[in-house]
Structure 1
Amino acid sequence: MAFDMDVDVLVVGSGAGALVAALRAAKAGAGVLIVEKGKLWGGTSATSGGGIWIPGSHLAEAAGHPDDLDEAFAYVRRLTAPNVADDQIHAFIDNAHRMLAWIEREADVQYAALPYPDYYPETKGSREGFRTHLMPGSIDARTLGRDAFDTMQRASPAASLWGRINWKLDETHIVLFRPNGWIKTVAKVMGSYWLDVPQRLRSPRDRRLTLGTALLGQLRKAIDATGTPLWLESPLVSLIEEQGRIVGAVIRHEGRDLRIGARQGVVLAAGGFERNPALREEHLPSSSQPEASGSQVNNQGDALVAAQQVGAAVRNLDSAWWAPVFRVPGEDRARLSTVERALPYSIIVNQAGRRYANEALSYHRFGEAMMARHKPGAATDPSWLIFDSRYRSRYPAGPVIPGMPDAMLPKDVRQILHKAATIAELAAKTKLSPAVLEATVTRFNTLVAKGRDEDFGRGDAAYDRLYGDPRVSPNPTLGTVEQAPFYAIPLHLGDIGTNGGLVTDGRGRVLREDGGAIPGLYAVGNLAASVMGYSYPGAGATLGPAMTFGWLAAADAVRINEAA
């Protein structure tokens, strides 16, 4: 069969899973081509916090918190869906720590194990920390080269100040809770940004890369060092099949449909389908608008459809990484709500004016609660984040920045923020029952006085307290809602990507409906049905498996010995 170009491995997509797969194949001597549909590379991974959930890492052990892989397996097995095979779970649990050590060695990606609790503390096998890993440092974009930096996917507006200035996790905590010396930290970050005069003259983008952009930047440097090309604006058109094997793909590049041969395999790592209106309407009716997603705009399921056309099986297409989100008019993606819901002096109510869940739950679990408790007369999409003047002056509420006068907030933000002198007046502005909302606030304030949320257990779990204000006691997530003026901003049901998709095995091979593998075809990341099923065990349970199965898929494609 004639091709316009031949490579050993073709990687479709440019997020973390894609780049790890490409890097492992290239390091083994394979000729690799990476193709990206959009004008920017990095995928949804670049817009993320960059955290990875890795049980049993050498970093956790070095920090004095060795893990038990059998416990980790049991934890995931209890949470994931019945249609996820034990072998696939074992493939992740047994290899994730090996992948982490490999990227540390081969790409100089420096992670740290954090005391970040798992999301299901009530489930046996969970831990109160050191499975979630984050890059604590930053990297200078100048080490990437101008072209790679200019074409890199931007950080999420939810993970940067004014959509411009990047923060590390420890800096965010310092700015949020303002311990002694916090002004020095702010001055250092702001100074680093504004004193970068050459960059300020050409762009508002911050050349200090943190979180997801730091991870992707470091992987891209390693990829570039191998000489592996990365084509932008080069979407997948179709897969090429020969005698039951995938031997390449048609890629639209520079206005031409090119037949790219892939001697050893095609790795699909092109993200989920959350920005596709038709697929979302069909499979995610609870949240059918693409704008409710916090992911980047090119995740429209092209690779999912292409794989189905060659007989690939699918699983759990009704699943997503659910989340409550802020939706600002004019923005092309929603903003994930992470810390806001655990902060004191606030509650979340449905359209009946009543609380319905522990506000401090992880975003996926709170999103699930929004779906489960949505009903006529008590709709939860949107819900309302209600807070008082103390919250307003101290903490962010999505796009609402503390310390900035209401009148100085951007017009689009003022459009969705409601303010009132009394709870009853706020209820009228949000079309809630004044009597019900006042009763809800009174009940909550009574519980705060007791120091425990007897209704929903907010602040009982270690994860809840992670984002609480340590200056508030005895429960850092609880504070009365009683000091005027009062505010409300809508919280919508959204997501950070779909997690149902192509059925794969423990080597990342795409499977047919009969369970047999499609030779030459692999899928990783949100394009593949998640090993976690419908659950989200801990921070980084998206990127951790994506990178691990990318690492395993490349090894299988180029036949790397298991010990390598």
Structure 2
Amino acid sequence: MPSIEHTQHEYDLVVLGSGAGGLAAAATASCLGLNVLVVEKADRFGGTSAISGGAAWVYGTDQARAAGAQDSPQAMRTYLKTIIGAGYNAQLVDAFIARGHQALRWLEHNTELRYALRPHSPDYYPDEPGATQFGRALEMVEYDGRRLGARFKDLKMPPPGMLLFGGMMVNRVDIQHFLSLRRSPGSLWHCLKLMTRYGLDRLHHHRGTRLTTGNALIARLASSAFAKGTQLWLRSEAQELIVEHGVVTGVMVLREGRRERVVARGGVVCAMGGFAAGALAAAYRPAPAAPHLTMSPSGNDGAALRLGQAVDAANGEGLAANFFWAPVSERRHADGERERFPHLVTDRAKPGVIAIDPGGRRFVNESNSYHHFVQTMFANGLSTCWLLCDAEAMNRYGLGLARPKPVDNTALIQSGYLYRADSAQALANAIGVDPQALQQTLERFNTDARNGIDRQFDKGGNSYNRYMGDPQHTPNPCLAPLTKAPFYAIRLHTGDLGSARGLVTDANANVLNHAGTPIAGLYATGNDMNSLMNGTYPGPGITLGPALTFGWIAASHIAERLQAPTPHMETTACTTN
């Protein structure tokens, strides 16, 4: 049993959680001269952000302006009003539009955070009013993990299915090069350089030190925060808020078996990743929801909602969805370990790949967003479905955890994750669907695929669909008939990337009580903050963009309250050398 509180610690700011939103707040506050503590329940830092794609969706960035992107605040509002609908929160959206690019500029000037514009990245609903073809989606610039020093070993590592050769990270550009290495000398050279760097890394490190996507995002923010003195407590759990005269002034933390009293002069920021992995999650998912697979770490169990309850904090209500959906597959290893893979970008939209329901029939445009894909599963009463491809697609793109040629995927077949058969009828029998129904599905799809037009679900029918396909495949980058044996299948489950429902905040990220009044000293960002997207998914990076923005805003607001310097471009940078 833990003892009573052992020691009192004093900080200007305590951040609960070490994902992008939490570390954005910590890095900002530390650069502004505040004494900061980050409390992380897990034994590694980074949370869901560390295993994410790292993309940020932000209006009006310097990168977009430099590239000549055509956009406006009104276009952004129009698009978000269209997608979000009745749950549109003008106060939060306006703050995000006005301050998101300011936050990114300040963080890039004062920390090691670096983003690059995706040259072509349509919004997820590109034909809706206010949508753009590029300019809002940014992707993380790679980073050298060695700059974390001894803390590199404490950075959360992506699951094996997201790595190559047991520990090599790749980004969107790298993936395209690996898919093209047999067709392009330039791609072959790119891949050889990556593999050489990785081989040298493994002589001295437990994995590759070239970090990309969400791992690079977390490492960049953490390096900057650590350089300015931010403290990190791992394996430490926030148990209750300290409240004095209605003001949150600290938190009780269980650390190494002892209760530690941590005073926070400026306040506490909740950034613990939401509740997608906790017992609470099942109550907020539509039926059928089992077996439902989340990508959230086990520690994301709704701690912020529990802490907030004691101070009458308001929770979001009536969201379009309480989670950010994604189809997920799962491999069971011989030792009982379960490995999950989110089907975001690598397979569903590619030529020669289709999804079918348990009856053997297509039910969805496979190249639409992952959030939309699972919404369609729920609308059709599905908790599972099947993703199919033929040998040509497998050899070129892979399927889930299965890698393209020349990788041997026999182990995945033996584990029951990947199904392979010499004919469509044999595959149907293997996965338990009606062979005749699957045959009819393939005949209809293959006829359309040869003509480049999917008359049933319009796969490849808009610019986002085509962006997700194979740009070297014509006439439709998302369509090819499934004709070449053997045929393959994997089971997909409804899944999520995290929760959208959280603590209600104002435009300063200050948590509100049920009367709509700010709770002094309590802030929320990331998935602990009720999503300004209201459970919709307008584009890539719509969780990280707001997380970075409101993490920066929260720290700025706290610094102002403590009469610290306000964020501006002349503030001394805290990048490391």
The normalised TM-score by structure 2 is: 0.92
- Measure, in 1, the Cα distance between the counterparts of 2:113 and 2:90: 30
Q: Which residue of 2 aligns with 1:100?
A: 104
Give the 3-state SS of the residue equivalent to 1:497 in structure 2.
strand
The answer on whether the counterparts of 1:344 and 1:468 sit within 8 Å (CA) in structure 2 is yes
**Which residue of the other structure, out of 315, 336, 341, is the alignment partner of 1:335?**
341
TM-superposed deviation, 1:51: 0.6
> Which letter maps to 2:103?
M
The answer on whether the counterparts of 1:334 and 1:494 sit within 8 Å (CA) in structure 2 is no
% identical equivalent positions? 37
The answer on whether the counterparts of 1:117 and 1:462 sit within 8 Å (CA) in structure 2 is yes
**Which residue of the other structure, out of 80, 83, 89, is the alignment partner of 2:84?**
80
TM-superposed deviation, 1:180: 1.5
Determine if the alignment matches structure 1 residue 129 to structure 2 residue 134.
yes
Deviations 1:168-213 (A, max 9, x none): 32111111233422221221111111123532xx52x111111111
Determine if the alignment matches structure 1 residue 71 to structure 2 residue 75.
yes
Determine if the alignment matches structure 1 residue 280 to structure 2 residue 281.
yes
TM-superposed deviation, 1:535: 0.9
The answer on whether the counterparts of 2:36 and 2:229 sit within 8 Å (CA) in structure 1 is no
- Measure, in 2, the Cα distance between the counterparts of 1:49 and 1:77: 25
The answer on whether the counterparts of 1:280 and 1:290 sit within 8 Å (CA) in structure 2 is no
Give the 3-state SS of the residue equivalent to 2:274 in structure 1.
coil
Give the 3-state SS of the residue equivalent to 1:550 in structure 2.
helix
- Measure, in 2, the Cα distance between the counterparts of 1:348 and 1:291: 18
Gaps of 5+ in 1: 375-379
> Which letter maps to 1:241?
V
**Which residue of the other structure, out of 222, 229, 232, is the alignment partner of 2:224?**
222
- Measure, in 2, the Cα distance between the counterparts of 1:162 and 1:334: 17
User: After the TM superposition, which residues 225-244 of structure 1 pair with which residues of structure 2 at under 5 Å, given as runs?
Assistant: 225-244=227-246
Q: Which residue of 2 aligns with 1:155?
A: 158
The answer on whether the counterparts of 2:27 and 2:222 sit within 8 Å (CA) in structure 1 is no
> Which letter maps to 2:347?
E
- Measure, in 1, the Cα distance between the counterparts of 2:6 and 2:88: 39
The answer on whether the counterparts of 2:331 and 2:415 sit within 8 Å (CA) in structure 1 is no
Give the 3-state SS of the residue equivalent to 1:327 in structure 2.
strand
The answer on whether the counterparts of 2:9 and 2:261 sit within 8 Å (CA) in structure 1 is yes
TM-superposed deviation, 1:297: 2.3
- Measure, in 2, the Cα distance between the counterparts of 1:271 and 1:363: 20
**Which residue of the other structure, out of 356, 360, 367, is the alignment partner of 1:360?**
367
TM-superposed deviation, 1:358: 0.5
User: After the TM superposition, which residues 413-562 of structure 1 pair with which residues of structure 2 at under 5 Å, given as runs?
Assistant: 414-559=415-560, 561=566
Give the 3-state SS of the residue equivalent to 1:248 in structure 2.
strand
Give the 3-state SS of the residue equivalent to 2:332 in structure 1.
coil
Q: Which residue of 2 aligns with 1:208?
A: 210
1:551–1:11: structure 2 CA closer, same or farther, 3 Å change rule? same
TM-superposed deviation, 1:232: 0.6
Deviations 1:357-376 (A, max 9, x none): 100011111111111112xx
- Measure, in 2, the Cα distance between the counterparts of 1:83 and 1:240: 32
Give the 3-state SS of the residue equivalent to 2:236 in structure 1.
coil
The answer on whether the counterparts of 1:116 and 1:463 sit within 8 Å (CA) in structure 2 is yes
Determine if the alignment matches structure 1 residue 320 to structure 2 residue 323.
yes
TM-superposed deviation, 1:2: 12
Give the 3-state SS of the residue equivalent to 2:553 in structure 1.
helix
1:70–1:306: structure 2 CA closer, same or farther, 3 Å change rule? same
1:490–1:429: structure 2 CA closer, same or farther, 3 Å change rule? same
User: After the TM superposition, which residues 387-426 of structure 1 pair with which residues of structure 2 at under 5 Å, given as runs?
Assistant: 387-404=389-406, 409-411=410-412, 414-426=415-427
| Number of corresponding residues | 552
The answer on whether the counterparts of 2:35 and 2:229 sit within 8 Å (CA) in structure 1 is no
Q: Which residue of 1 aligns with 2:376?
A: 369
Give the 3-state SS of the residue equivalent to 1:297 in structure 2.
coil
**Which residue of the other structure, out of 174, 181, 203, is the alignment partner of 1:198?**
203
- Measure, in 2, the Cα distance between the counterparts of 1:246 and 1:352: 54
More moved, 458-467 vs 158-167 = 158-167
Q: Which residue of 2 aligns with 1:120?
A: 125
> Which letter maps to 1:215?
L
TM-superposed deviation, 1:280: 1.7
Determine if the alignment matches structure 1 residue 30 to structure 2 residue 20.
no
Determine if the alignment matches structure 1 residue 57 to structure 2 residue 61.
yes
TM-superposed deviation, 1:68: 0.8
TM-superposed deviation, 1:64: 1.8
- Measure, in 2, the Cα distance between the counterparts of 1:434 and 1:290: 25
Deviations 1:271-295 (A, max 9, x none): 011111x212211244756971122
Q: Which residue of 2 aligns with 1:377?
A: none
Query: What RMSD, in angstroms, separates the aligned Cα atoms of the two structures?
Result: 2.0
- Measure, in 2, the Cα distance between the counterparts of 1:290 and 1:384: 14
- Measure, in 1, the Cα distance between the counterparts of 2:468 and 2:179: 10
TM-superposed deviation, 1:471: 2.5
> Which letter maps to 2:365?
N
> Which letter maps to 1:551?
W
1:221–1:333: structure 2 CA closer, same or farther, 3 Å change rule? same
**Which residue of the other structure, out of 42, 45, 48, is the alignment partner of 2:46?**
42
TM-superposed deviation, 1:259: 1.3
- Measure, in 1, the Cα distance between the counterparts of 2:451 and 2:65: 39
Q: Which residue of 1 aligns with 2:574?
A: none
- Measure, in 2, the Cα distance between the counterparts of 1:409 and 1:195: 28
Deviations 1:405-439 (A, max 9, x none): 65x53357641211112211111111111111100
More moved, 540-549 vs 550-559 = 550-559
The answer on whether the counterparts of 1:269 and 1:524 sit within 8 Å (CA) in structure 2 is yes
- Measure, in 2, the Cα distance between the counterparts of 1:217 and 1:401: 27
1:184–1:561: structure 2 CA closer, same or farther, 3 Å change rule? closer
- Measure, in 2, the Cα distance between the counterparts of 1:558 and 1:299: 28
The answer on whether the counterparts of 1:388 and 1:483 sit within 8 Å (CA) in structure 2 is yes
TM-superposed deviation, 1:250: 0.4
The answer on whether the counterparts of 2:402 and 2:412 sit within 8 Å (CA) in structure 1 is no
Q: Which residue of 1 aligns with 2:114?
A: 110
More moved, 224-233 vs 411-420 = 411-420
The answer on whether the counterparts of 1:271 and 1:526 sit within 8 Å (CA) in structure 2 is yes
TM-superposed deviation, 1:332: 4.7
1:333–1:88: structure 2 CA closer, same or farther, 3 Å change rule? farther
The answer on whether the counterparts of 2:289 and 2:383 sit within 8 Å (CA) in structure 1 is no
Q: Which residue of 2 aligns with 1:254?
A: 256
The answer on whether the counterparts of 1:295 and 1:333 sit within 8 Å (CA) in structure 2 is no
- Measure, in 2, the Cα distance between the counterparts of 1:221 and 1:329: 35
The answer on whether the counterparts of 1:119 and 1:362 sit within 8 Å (CA) in structure 2 is yes
- Measure, in 2, the Cα distance between the counterparts of 1:291 and 1:110: 35
The answer on whether the counterparts of 1:57 and 1:67 sit within 8 Å (CA) in structure 2 is no
The answer on whether the counterparts of 1:343 and 1:468 sit within 8 Å (CA) in structure 2 is yes
